[in-house]
Amino acid sequence: MPQNLPTTLVPELLRIVGVEGVLAARADLMVYECDGFVIEKNSPDVVVFPTCTEQVARVVRCCRDAGVPFVPRGAGTSLAGGCLPVGGGVMIVLTRMKQILEINTRDRYAVVQPGVVNIWLTQALRGTGLHYAPDPSSQGACTIGGNVATNSGGPHTLKYGVTVNHVLGVECVLPDGEIVCLGGPVDESPGCDLVGAMVGSEGTLAIVTKIWVRLTKNPQGYRTMLGVFDSVDDATNAISAIIGHGIVPAALEMLDQGIIVALEAAFQFGFPLDASAVLLIEVDGLEVGLDAQQQQIVELCRQQGAREVRLARDAAERARLWKCRKQAFGAIGRLSPSYCTQDGVVPRTQLPHILRRITEIGNRHRIRIVNVFHAGDGNIHPILLFDERDPEQVQRVLQASNEILEDCLACGGSVTGEHGIGVEKIGFMRRMFTADSLDVMARFRSALNPDNQLSPGKMLPTAAGCGLEMKGSHRKAAV
Amino acid sequence: MNQDPDPHLPHRSARTGLAAPDVSNPGSAIDYERFLDCVHCGLCTAACPTYVELGNENDSPRGRIYLMRGVTDGRIDLTPGVRRHLELCLDCRACETACPSGVQYGKLIEPFRVAMETTEPNGRGKTHDWFHRWILFGLFTQPRRMRAALVPARLLQRLRIDRWIEATGLWRLLPQRIGRLLTLLPRLGPRTPDLPSFLPAVGRRRARVVLFKGCVGDVMFGSTNWATARVLQANGCDVLIPESQVCCGAIHYHAGHSEPARELADQNLAALKPADVDAIVVNIAGCGSMLKDYGHHWHDGRQADRTAFAAKVRDVSEFLDELGLVSPPGPIPHKVTYHDACHLAHAQRVREAPRRLLRRIPELVIEELRESDLCCGAAGTYNLTEPEMADRLARRKLQNILETGVRVVVTGNAGCLLQIARESRLQGHVLRVLHPMDLLDLSYRNECLTI
Ligand code: SF4
Ligand code: SF4
């Protein structure tokens, strides 16, 4: 039993969610000590599984009254420690709130609970001619609630935008237990964009319990191409050339040789193992312009020295290609026992530069780094391979990661494109934003979350002295 | 921060295999490197039936791997709670299909459970009870005894007393697992004659195969075994059906009884003589995946023989798809839907072959099934030992089936056939549940399908 909790808390939680809805045994809590980011860990003291908004509100009130920190969690696929219970306390797991409440094809919106897995919505929409556009690579497992928290992107954000562009409204529970609705099924609501503020707030403002999402019409057709290049520079130049020509691909992804080898081992797609880089390019829209666009892209790739440009023959081949791309991170397990995926953004024209820097940094720290990323919007994902059992290697990985992200900032970019700040990037906030900007954010958070009981130690650096701040030197190596 | 000092370091030696195996820790039976394959990404969670139902990560693949590793590292004890999460696993291997890192989950959970069985306090594991001893091991795996046991069941069915027992819910008064067993029984037709030990190819001879009959399958699905043999014949195969073959051993092995399973495996090695044939053909996915695993379950002098045996094993759909199916002539103007048996789709990675074969039947239409590869809850003997979760999954499966509007379900595993048929009977729906070979056989014989 956790020592620092008021003794009345667990019985109170049991009254709210029942015995099936509470975990308090040490062994049961262990798996909740981290998410997809495994470098830092901390076990919650209690886990609860509410099944409706009312229960969430009651649990929140109960935590507030007890003065205990609480943090929401969905599928736990965050790569930045977004679900880490920094101060221990109560973890509110929303995986039992997993219903699709409404699909309205005429007004093109759906209402879902936060625990709905992203791909379930798309599956439920099969046959309607509509889909939910944000398609993070982990869409087979991550929840829409988690997507809202981190404002998730995905390969198709280049054309369709990120989660915030597709959320019409949310119902949420504020840290004082009040249930509020922001926005709703209609598109425009006057006043301050509170929905926009909620999306991407990483659970520091409120716990989202219901989401109205926009549904997007399926494009009439797709053309999916695979450009094979003998040098990374040629590939990145091709990216610039394509965008420079005013083409907006639905997706434009780059995979380097290291990742190609892992994917080939996992999926046997037939990727050329000797290529230095491949570009996965997709255009979609009305059938009528697609062939011309495709022709243009093939041409541009050739001009930049592409060895060949392959076309996906049919829907099945397209689906396989995307499956490979989306599961790329997971396939890393085949290359090394542990990995750390970075998530930085640079202006597109800086891609060749940053990739050269990454190689150089990797060499200097003797860390192997492979790359797979959303090239179209300059969102890079260098993946650092290491063995977690060697603490010295872990230090080198952290050092190399920091240098890469520093470089992103130096190029005028950002330290996260889509994974969020979580606990991983919190140290960079002061470098990314001015003290004034951070102060505005902190004050906004305080307005809703005055005691910082909800998701403490996340996203915004806390003032020194509260004991929750994470420091790089305290990071532990463990999985 | 983390309350534990650093739980990993003191166990470094166990990882490298230098420490002496610790008999009290079930994790010592596992190759530690396999734990490290898991990068904790969580991409497998939504594929796991128990997690999808319960939402608790301890009942997800990532959680179970973490628990097993926690026990192995000595971070947590193998408490009854931890055991429950591991026992609740269906061993359906959906997580293996979903995992991009290639984690071989089966090679973690199976040896761990075997070891868990033997480390049960006072040596009496969950599978040492009367039900396992007399019914699962004593009856199920012995076709002759099973046939005898089915005589009264046939009588009940002939007199329609079974329907009365089901309709009135009287079966719930029997000891739970016996009651469930009774409701699982399919409508038993007249007893099919035993298969002869040899059936010759029809037309040009293209292959020589041995047919594995299975123990439960042989008794309850005699007609499907006949259909399978005829389909093989029609495809130019000489079919050998040696009398001396025995149960594949999966029931024992999955209940944690490794030794009896090894004995059965070696009897099959002797009976099925892999060197003399092109393939060992199996029509029950559960048995097929066990036979394919013979090579790595036991590490002793015969391991190489077992590996060679395993290399010859093919699911019947996989085999026919590789051989090239002789076009089935008879039309079957029906809509059907296909349920992916876990031990076919996940354990053996056979997904498209059965669909391809079925599409060759003239006028047959396949409607896709939502969550077609989510376990139906049968999972070997799981529906007898974990009734609650099994029922939840059966209801979910039936719901998805009913949504297709189709009344014929096709699937390649005996357990699934029984489970889906049982659920539809209990809920009062009329559903035909068939094996792909049943349909192909009808087509080759130009017969109609009756519903
Ligand atoms: S089993 Fe595979 S998919 Fe699941 S968490 Fe581990 S690495 Fe990821
Ligand atoms: S085998 Fe099936 S039930 Fe067990 S963890 Fe994997 S997916 Fe879940």
A26 touches chain B (CB under 8 A): yes
What confidence score (pLDDT) does residue B186 get? 66
pLDDT at site B322: 95
Is residue B102 within 8 angstroms of chain A, CB to CB? yes
A248 within some domain: yes
Nearest atom, ligand 1, residue A141 CA: 3
Give yes or no for residue A333 having a pLDDT over 80. no
> How far, in Å, CA of A337 to CA of A471, rounded?
25
Same domain, A113 and A197: yes
Residue A149 belongs to some domain of the structure: yes
Q: Is the pLDDT of residue A115 over 60?
A: yes
Residue A52 and residue A138 share a domain: no
Architecture of domain B33-123: Orthogonal Bundle (1.10)
Judged against a pLDDT cut of 60, whether residue A162 lies above it is answered with: yes
Shortest CB distance from B42 goes to which of A76, A331, A339? A76
Q: Is B433 in the pocket of ligand 1 (CB under 6 A)?
A: no
Same domain, A195 and A245: no
* Domain residue spans of chain B: 33-123, 130-184, 198-321, 322-444
Distance from CA of A328 to the nearest CA of B (A): 7
The verdict on residue A139 lying in a domain is yes
Pick from A168-182, A463-477, B157-171, B320-334: least confident: A463-477
- Block residue for tokens 């603490």: A391
What's the average model confidence in pLDDT over A267-293?
90
Confirm or reject contact between B367 and chain A (CB < 8 A): no
CA distance A410 to chain B (A): 30
Look at the domain B198-321 and name its fold: Rossmann fold (3.40.50)
Domain membership of residue A16 as a residue range: 9-93
Enumerate the H helices of B245-373 as residue ranges. 250-254, 258-272, 285-292, 294-297, 303-312, 316-323, 342-345, 352-359
pLDDT score of B188: 64
- Which ligand 2 atom is at minimum distance from the Cα of B94? 7
Please report the pLDDT score of residue B443 as a whole number. Answer: 97
Query: Would A242 be classed as within a structural domain?
Result: yes
- A365 with A393, same domain: the answer is yes
Does A264 share its domain with A277? yes
Q: Which of B6, B45, B82 sits opposite A27 (nearest CB)?
A: B82
Supply B309's token pair: 């045996």
Residue A23 in contact with partner chain B when CB distance is under 8 A: yes
Q: What's the pLDDT score for residue B175? A: 65
Taking 90 as the threshold, does the pLDDT of residue A434 lie above it? Answer: no
Q: Among A27, A95, A138, whose Cβ lies nearest the Cβ of B43?
A: A138
Mutate to test the interface with A, among B3, B15, B41, B103 (most CBs of A within 10 A): B41
Closest ligand 1 atom to Cα of B98? 3
Mean pLDDT, residues A422-445: 87
**Residue pLDDT, tens place only, A59-70:** 999 999 999 999
Domain stop point among A191, A217, A243: A217
- pLDDT score at A469: 33
Q: Is B58 on the interface with A (CB under 8 A)?
A: yes
Domains B198-321 and B322-444 share a fold: yes
Cross-strand pairs, B240: B198, B210
Domain B322-444: assigned CATH number: 3.40.50.1860
Question: Which of A17, A29, A34, A95 is most worth mutating to test chain B (most B CB atoms within 10 A of its CB)?
Answer: A95
Q: Where among A278, A311, A328 does a domain terminate?
A: A328
Based on the domain organization, do A360 and A395 belong to the same domain?
A: yes
Same domain, residue pair A268 and A376? no
Chain A hits for B405, CB-CB cut-off 8 Å, are: none
What ligand is nearest to the CA atom of residue B93? 2
Instruction: Confirm if B72 and B30 have CB atoms less than 8 A apart.
Output: yes
CB pair distance less than 8 Å for A77 and B76:
no
Domain-ending residue, one of A285, A306, A328: A328
Pairwise CA distance, residues B421 & B407, whole Å: 11
Interfacial A residues in 436-465 facing B (CB < 8 Å): none
Task: State the ipTM, two decimals.
Answer: 0.88
Write out the two tokens for B86: 């591991």
Task: Judge if A373 and A438 occupy the same domain.
Answer: no
- pLDDT value at residue A37: 84
Mean pLDDT across A222-227: 92
Model confidence at A420: pLDDT above 90: no
Residue A193 resides in a domain: yes
pLDDT by residue for chain B (451 residues), tens digit each? 334 333 333 333 333 333 344 557 888 878 888 888 888 889 999 999 999 999 999 999 999 999 999 999 999 999 999 999 999 999 899 999 999 888 999 889 988 888 887 766 554 555 556 566 655 566 556 666 666 666 666 666 666 666 666 666 666 666 666 666 666 666 666 677 888 999 999 999 999 999 998 876 666 678 899 999 999 999 999 999 998 898 898 888 877 788 889 999 999 999 888 888 999 999 999 899 999 999 988 888 899 999 999 999 999 999 999 999 999 999 999 999 999 999 999 999 999 999 999 999 999 999 989 999 999 998 777 877 888 999 999 999 999 999 999 999 999 998 898 899 989 988 999 899 999 999 999 999 999 898 7
What is the number of helices (H) and of strands (E) in chain A? 16, 20
CATH, residue A88: 3.30.43.10
Q: In chain A, what residues touch B56 (CB-CB under 8 Å)?
A: 23, 28, 49, 93, 95
The helix (H) or strand (E) run that includes residue A180 is strand A179-183
Say yes or no: A139 and A211 in one domain: yes
pLDDT at A46 over 80: yes
What is the structure's pLDDT at B164? 65
Same domain, A232 and A292: yes
Q: What is the mean pLDDT of chain A?
A: 88
Pair type for strands A70-73 and A90-93? parallel
The pLDDT assigned to B115 comes to 84
- Across the interface, whether the CB atoms of B75 and A30 are under 8 A apart is answered yes
Question: Given a cut of 80, is residue A123 above it in pLDDT?
Answer: yes
pLDDT for residue B181 = 64
Nearest to B43 among A25, A28, A327 (CB): A327
Q: What is the pLDDT of residue A479?
A: 27
Q: CA–CA distance from B112 to each of A260, A389, B57, B86, B99 (Å)?
A: 34, 23, 19, 9, 20
Predicted pLDDT at B169:
67
**Does A434 contact B at CB distance below 8 Å?**
no
The ligand minimizing its distance to the Cα of B36 is 1
Reported as a pLDDT band with limits 50, 70 and 90, residue A419 is confident
Chain length of chain A: 479
Residues A205 and A123 in one domain: yes
